[in-house]
């Protein structure tokens, strides 16, 4: 069954600083939802709240009938919610193939440590898992790097490896934190193609990125945050025309659609 993820009036404070203030948004299956805003607007904190890496001080976050605010990150992942990080960091000491295989096994186990400790045994026991992982690497043009230490990969390939590892969990919702940061134009175009393809498969996507033309050219809906609060949300063209958005972030030039 398809579910939407709903965050309602979520607030998160760090000491005396309010990073997210009564922010609301909804992520729907098969839709790409952009989240933009200046540095410090609260975007990454929102992703951390949605994925269970942080708890809200107030407000509600639900996925279908599940209250995400009381679940561990592993439980949220098993519901079908996956995320990537601003800093693409592979599992230390594992090959690119093993990184993707670890993602597959995390669908069924609460402990990342247990997955990593048993990975060698599981790899020998489950050739089909390795075959599925290789297929994902091929999809992301990483087949040639399958046996390489993931930590040795160049930055752009690390970005795609992290995305492949997230998809290995078979998510229903995918939260992408700055996935285009540091990518060259060819890689950014390829990323856009992948994200569109995932949405066409019914996966809901939250796309957080500073590349405004990329976000506006790709997303069905855009939410803008500033100083922790949502200041606009709607179709990209409507959001662009919002005076508060232009003043806070976009400036005077309308973003061109991404290629």
In this predicted structure, what is the pLDDT of residue 246? Answer: 84
In this predicted structure, what is the pLDDT of residue 117? Answer: 57
In this predicted structure, what is the pLDDT of residue 137? Answer: 95
Dihedral sign (CA 112, 118, 120, 126): negative
The pTM of the full predicted model, rounded to 2 decimals, is 0.85
Identify the DSSP state of 82.
E
Query: How many CB atoms within 10 Å of residue 131?
Result: 9
Point out the residues of the chain with pLDDT beneath 50: 108-111, 252-259
In this predicted structure, what is the pLDDT of residue 111? Answer: 46
In this predicted structure, what is the pLDDT of residue 123? Answer: 53
Q: Where are the domains of the chain?
A: 1-80+171-259, 91-158
Task: Assign domain 1-80+171-259 to its CATH architecture.
Answer: 3-Layer(aba) Sandwich (3.40)
In this predicted structure, what is the pLDDT of residue 119? Answer: 59
Dihedral sign (CA 95, 97, 100, 106): negative
In this predicted structure, what is the pLDDT of residue 1? Answer: 52
Chain-centroid distance of CA 166 in Å reads 8
In this predicted structure, what is the pLDDT of residue 252? Answer: 47
Helix axes 155-167 and 127-139, enclosed angle (nearest 10): 130
In this predicted structure, what is the pLDDT of residue 124? Answer: 55
In this predicted structure, what is the pLDDT of residue 231? Answer: 94
Task: Tell me the C-alpha distance between 104 and 136, whole Å.
Answer: 11
In this predicted structure, what is the pLDDT of residue 43? Answer: 95
């Amino acid at each position: 069954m398809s579910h939407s993820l709903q965050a309602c009036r979520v607030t998160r404070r760090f000491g005396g600083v309010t990073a997210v203030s009564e922010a609301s948004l909804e992520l729907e299956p098969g839709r790409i939802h952009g989240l933009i805003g200046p540095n410090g607007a609260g975007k990454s904190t929102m992703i951390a709240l949605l994925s269970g890496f942080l708890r809200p001080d107030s407000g509600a976050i639900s996925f279908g009938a599940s209250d995400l605010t009381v679940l561990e990150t592993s439980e949220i992942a098993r519901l079908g919610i996956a995320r990537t990080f601003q800093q693409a960091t592979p599992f230390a000491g594992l090959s690119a193939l093993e990184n993707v295989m670890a993602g597959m096994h995390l669908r069924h186990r609460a402990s990342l440590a247990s997955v990593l400790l048993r990975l060698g045994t599981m790899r020998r026991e489950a050739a089909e898992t390795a075959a599925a992982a290789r297929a994902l690497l091929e999809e992301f043009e990483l087949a040639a790097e399958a046996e390489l230490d993931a930590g040795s990969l160049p930055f752009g390939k690390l970005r795609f490896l992290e995305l492949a590892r997230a998809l290995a969990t078979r998510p229903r919702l995918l939260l992408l934190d700055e996935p285009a940061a540091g990518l060259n134009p060819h890689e950014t175009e390829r990323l856009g193609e992948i994200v569109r393809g995932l949405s066409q498969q019914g996966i809901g996507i939250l796309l957080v990125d500073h590349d405004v033309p990329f976000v506006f050219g790709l997303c069905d809906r855009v939410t803008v945050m500033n100083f922790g609060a949502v200041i606009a949300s709607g179709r990209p063209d409507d959001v662009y025309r919002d005076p508060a958005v232009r003043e806070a972030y976009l400036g005077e030039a309308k973003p061109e659609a991404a290629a």
